[in-house]
Structure 1
């Protein structure tokens, strides 16, 4: 499900995320400069009520196993949120990014009491940006028909 977008404005990636209960109208992606290969690509910043930029998340660059497409994956987290919001960004700097969300399935316990890892609820593929394989990998037939109505 698409819940937001980012676009380049005067050399900065600015955007928003909105759901039924969350409206983050002023978000920014701040590039992370690091030699650590495990460092995120971006810090997710939000303009708070006092008009100060504060970090509420991070994004790591990932590559699709099936198509080789690059995308960003991370989460938004803040004490005001009931739980972290897992997100993915698809697109590029020139065209902009669309913010995609999918609810992960809860962990299940095995008969021996051990827990299984989280798995995508949609095992038949209609999650994230339209299609994904049963194991959660993004397929290569992505479409970007995002329409934001004028108000």
Structure 2
């Protein structure tokens, strides 16, 4: 699903991203200068409420397994968001990029781990259930009525 567009205007990559709950009317891509092959290709910047540019993500170069087509992939993240927004940028005819939201999927080349989506959430619940069955974090310090107890070695003194 396309959620934005980035244009090459006078050598600067600027554009916007909008979803039902996120509105970034002005974003920019800043090229990362690095010798490290694992470094991102671009930083994603946005104007904050004080009209200053702040980094909200990064993009790495990736290639389609099916076609070999190169594109950019990364996340937008900010403390105001409930979770990172995974995005992919595909080259557009106008010299910029089309921004698409992407759902992380099972990656067989990394052991089949799930990332995001409902299945990822249910897997997290399974892991939590296993942890709880194996003793978890120890006994609760709350009694049946919610009162503080001394279970787990807490002696009533303020631990902070």
TM-score (norm 2): 0.65
Give the structure with higher Rg (CA): 2
- RMSD value over aligned CA atoms? 2.3
Q: Give the corresponding residue for 1:56.
A: 56
**CA deviations over 1:24-81 (Å, ceiling 9, x no partner):** 0010000000000000000000011101000000000011122111000000000011
Q: Is the 8 A contact 1:16 1:25 kept in 2?
A: yes
Higher RCO (Cα < 8 Å, 6 or more apart): 1
Determine helix, strand or coil for the equivalent of 1:7.
strand
Query: In 1, Cα distance between the equivalents of 2:43 and 2:105?
Result: 26
Q: Is the 8 A contact 2:4 2:100 kept in 1?
A: yes
2:20 aligned with 1:24, yes or no?
A: no
Determine helix, strand or coil for the equivalent of 1:17.
strand
Q: Is the 8 A contact 1:8 1:93 kept in 2?
A: no
Distance 1:105 1:94, change over 3 A: closer
Q: Give the corresponding residue for 2:44.
A: 44
**Aligned residue pairs: how many?**
113
Unaligned 5+ runs, structure 1: 107-114, 122-151
Unaligned 5+ runs, structure 2: 118-160
